[in-house]
Amino acid sequence: MNQDVSLLIIGDEDNPLYTGIGEFLSSYPKWELVSASRMVEQLEKEEHTDIAIVLYRQEAAIIEVIQTIKKTSPTTAVVFLHHVQDFQLAREILRAGAIDYLVIPDEKELLSDRIEFLGNMVKVRNKQGGAGSSVFSKGRGEVIAFYSGKGGSGTTLISSTFAQTLKLDSTAEVILIDLNLQYGGVETYLGIEANRSLVDLKPVIHEISDSHIRNVTEKERFSKLEVLLSPRDAEIAEAIDEDYIKRLIRACKRSFDFVILDVPSHIDITSFAAIEEADKIFYCITPDTPSIRVFKGVEELLKRLGIHLDERLEIVVNQAGKEAELTGKDLGRFIQYPFAIEVKKDVKGVLHSVNKSEPIRKEAKEKRLSLVAKDIQKWVSSLLK
């Protein structure tokens, strides 16, 4: 596998990070070290560069380097290496187009895993005649929050099914985080029983790494979706603050393509932090008058708190159908944000799975899907194109 993957190391020979990955590079015959000034020249050569590894240097304009790579060669995956953790820089380089931010030497083993994973994606892409897979087109670290100010809107069902579908129907690495700290909920819809939860990361939250996260997550048995469960304890929930949630989400952005957040309906410092960190907010609403009134109140509150909603917030209509009080068109008269999807009401199909403690999705190419699963599958498919 390593024989087929071409690497471009962007840095200098005297960079300690370059010395630190020497052993790793010895297993890849196709790699070259270039300075940032020669980077474009190398990328424009006929032989395509599969993965670019950018080494941190204090005086270098790192963000510009990554943006230039993505502009010159959009299908080249970018991995950034640093010698310390810097959450602010991580956020910036991920938004610039990098797929990973790794700390060397602490995450040297993880570097091998990540390059191997990306190498597999290269193999898939080449078999498809150069068509980019979802990992290459989306990049890492996209945070998607599912939220509703009104309980019973189906936020947990939709967020968990969305995350599971994303994992089943793409090559992306996905993590689902249950932020309903007092009561949970995700474990019920996915049929997961475990004692570990996101609060177990508290002792290492200031130096949190990919391995810490994966030691605490549970894997949903059908899709292998990584799930970070709620502690389901009101007393423990009080110990989780805004800084904790932000550090947790930013660490997950470094290790996963998509970070899916199931946010509780009440607004406190933790739910506020989650919504603030999200790149996209899907607001779940049922087609009735009380839901519109609650949404207007939520919109006003979030704006007052300084959360920018334009181009970030989209509406997910749940339990749509002939029996509903309002149609999507009716809702559109009162809500001025884009509508992402209308999910049909399917009480029988959902309850059948929940009562058996099973998720509503089990296979990538499942033939018999409930109405909810079908709608979300079509939605996810359109987002990955």
Q: Determine the pLDDT at residue 128.
A: 56
What is the C-alpha R_g of the chain? 22
Residue-wise pLDDT for 319-361, tens only, equals 998 888 998 889 999 999 999 999 999 888 888 888 888 888 8
**Of 97, 105, 116, 106, which is closest to residue 210 (Cα–Cα)?**
106
C-alpha dihedral sign at 198, 200, 206, 209: negative
DSSP 253-302: HHH-SEEEEE--SS--HHHHHHHHH-SEEEEEE-SSHHHHHHHHHHHHHH
Query: Residue 12 and residue 21: Cα distance in Å, rounded?
Result: 13
The strand pair at 218-219 and 226-228 is best described as antiparallel
142-384 CATH fold: Rossmann fold (3.40.50)
Q: Determine the pLDDT at residue 258.
A: 92
Q: Determine the pLDDT at residue 22.
A: 87
Q: Determine the pLDDT at residue 126.
A: 60
Q: Determine the pLDDT at residue 202.
A: 92
Query: Residue 173 and residue 138: Cα distance in Å, rounded?
Result: 11
CATH 3.40.50.2300 range(s) for the chain read 7-127
Contact 117, 172 (CB under 8 A): no
Query: Residue 43 and residue 72: Cα distance in Å, rounded?
Result: 7
C-alpha dihedral sign at 353, 359, 360, 363: negative
7-127 CATH fold: Rossmann fold (3.40.50)
Place of tokens 């998607």: 144
CATH 3.40.50.300 range(s) for the chain read 142-384
Q: How far is CA 299 from CA 272, 285, 307, 326, 340, in A?
A: 13, 13, 9, 20, 17
Q: Determine the pLDDT at residue 123.
A: 66
- 41 in helix, strand or coil? helix
Q: Which residues pair with 8 in a beta bridge?
A: 32, 52
pLDDT tens, position by position, for the chain (385 residues)? Answer: 566 788 999 998 899 999 899 888 888 888 989 988 888 888 887 577 889 999 998 767 888 889 888 888 888 889 999 999 887 788 788 878 888 899 998 888 888 888 888 877 766 666 555 444 443 344 456 899 999 999 999 999 999 999 999 999 988 889 999 999 999 999 999 999 888 999 999 999 988 888 899 999 999 999 999 999 999 998 988 889 999 999 999 889 877 889 999 999 999 999 999 999 998 999 999 999 999 999 999 999 999 998 889 889 999 999 998 888 998 889 999 999 999 999 999 888 888 888 888 888 888 888 888 899 999 999 999 888 6
Q: Determine the pLDDT at residue 124.
A: 67
Contact 228, 262 (CB under 8 A): no
Query: Residue 92 and residue 309: Cα distance in Å, rounded?
Result: 20
Q: Determine the pLDDT at residue 200.
A: 94
In the chain, the amino acid numbered 155 is T
Place of tokens 């932000």: 246
Tokens coding 338: 């884009």
